[in-house]
Amino acid sequence: MSWRLGFNVGAAGLYVVWADQRTWFGVLAGLVVGFALVAVYDLTTGRLNYALRLIRLVRFGAYFLGILVRANLQIAWEILTPGFDQKPRILRYPVAHLNPVQTTVLANAITLTPGTLVVDVTHDGGLLYVHCMYAEDREVAIAGLRKLDQRLQREVFS
């Protein structure tokens, strides 16, 4: 996918120069033209569909942005309303089914979310230790991590 993305951006750059459209609209039009070229190439060669993978990546980005917004609002509410509504807990989350790159991406996604932090990874790479500020129910917190893991597997690494 990386060379396809590079080709798409390169085609956008060529379009901007060729059409003399040095505006945001010109860049967007170039990206659309490059996207169409790569999609047609994928259809003719029978390779993985670039359009589908890009759509899945954007869909995961929107899902993760939703998680970030909810977590930030929860933290902001905690700051604005003094009180101790937190139920902190350290959870063990199994990641033996992931390769090292996937484990790293999942750990970074968890750590980027306010209120959660990956504290440690076991030596064999089979477990993540995650600190959650709002984990009153362990099963609900694990289900949230599992949902993030499954979406990441399905939409980014498939």
pLDDT at 7 over 90: no
- Going by the DSSP 8-state scheme, the letter that residue 87 receives in this structure is B
DSSP H or E stretch at residue 109? helix 100-112
Taking only the tens place, the pLDDT of each residue in 85-143 is 788 999 999 999 999 999 999 999 999 999 899 999 999 989 999 999 988 889 999 99
Q: Is the pLDDT of residue 1 over 60?
A: no
CA distance 20 to 135: 55
* Cα distances (angstroms) measured from residue 154 to each of 14, 36, 52, 62, 86: 33, 24, 12, 14, 31
- Going by the DSSP 8-state scheme, the letter that residue 134 receives in this structure is B
Burial class (CB in 10 A: 0-12, 13-18, 19+), 148: buried
pLDDT of residue 141: 92
Q: DSSP strand E in 7-154: where?
A: 89-94, 116-121, 127-132
Does the pLDDT at position 80 exceed 80? yes
Angle at 116 between CA 148 and CA 86, to 5 degrees: 120
Predicted model pTM:
0.76
pLDDT more than 70, % of the chain: 98
> Sheet holding 116-121: strands in order across?
89-94, 127-132, 116-121
